[in-house]
Amino acid sequence: MNRPLATAATEKLVHIPADGVHIEGMLQVPENAQGLVLFAHGSGSSRHSPRNNYVAQVLHHGAIGTLLMDLLTPEEDMDYQTRFDIGLLTRRLLEATRWIRREADTGKLPLGYFGASTGAAAALQAAAATGDNVAAVVSRGGRPDLAAERDLQRVQCPTLLLVGGHDPEVIRLNRQAYELLRCQKEMIIVPGATHLFDEPGTLETVAHEATLWFSQHLMPGLSDRLNHAESE
């Protein structure tokens, strides 16, 4: 994880009201941001996840802001069943999306979702519910198969599924969901990676592919400039 990273021009802890509780999150928006990605973490994870924070920092380097948040309260996260309540996670993500749209400094930015594990299902269901209000979705080691079949078929925005090459069960489940998606889509199997992408270079691959996907679909034309800059 030695890529040079950008610092955020705006960085603040936020509390978003939803379902009678408050979602806590860290909003980071680099100077001249051209888009914003909301992170939906997986079961048992949190906005402090070092993997998602690394991906977020690489996105900042690509002029993309991020909101890393806990869709469940600490008490809710202790309940195993609640962790897998995709409907609840989806509602919270939609509330966070509406909150972002009301904020003066983020309301007009193109939005994307980054989901991991169960968060991927919530991201896809939320994308289906918002139509063209969300420009792109990326799933890292996700469980898109947990999304309702009708919602997978309703997703309109370009969707990228990233799966570890040494994670055969998740590969199988992602392929099932991939077949149901009717949007522009791509599935990338990262060689040598297990479910957590702990192996050397694998998380860097995830961050690179996610940044390219979001830059291409949140702000068309920037992905070409990013590729050119990396080749210099």
16 pairs with which residues across the strands?
23
Residue 228 has pLDDT above 60, yes or no: no
Domain around 189: 10-231
Is 3 within the bounds of a domain?
no
Query: For the chain, how many structural domains are there in total?
Result: 1
DSSP string across 85-118: -HHHHHHHHHHHHHHHHHSTTTTTS-EEEEEETH
* Residue 95 in tokens: 């509330």
CA of 216: how far to CAs of 111, 129, 166, 219, in Å? 12, 22, 28, 6
Residue 95 has pLDDT above 50, yes or no: yes
Tell me, what's the pLDDT at 44? Answer: 63
CB–CB of 210/226 below 8 Å? no
Domain CATH number, residue 50: 3.40.50.1820
Is 162 within the bounds of a domain?
yes
Residue 226's pLDDT band (cuts 50, 70, 90)? very low
Is 63 within the bounds of a domain?
yes
Is 129 within the bounds of a domain?
yes
Is 2 within the bounds of a domain?
no
Comparison of pLDDT for 1 and 174, the residue scoring more: 174
Is 85 within the bounds of a domain?
yes
- Mean pLDDT calculated for residue range 22-42: 93
pTM over the 0.85 mark: yes
pLDDT per residue over 130-158, tens digit each? 998 999 999 999 999 999 999 999 999 99
Q: Of the segments 7-16, 70-79, 177-186, which one has the largest average pLDDT value?
A: 177-186
Is 1 within the bounds of a domain?
no
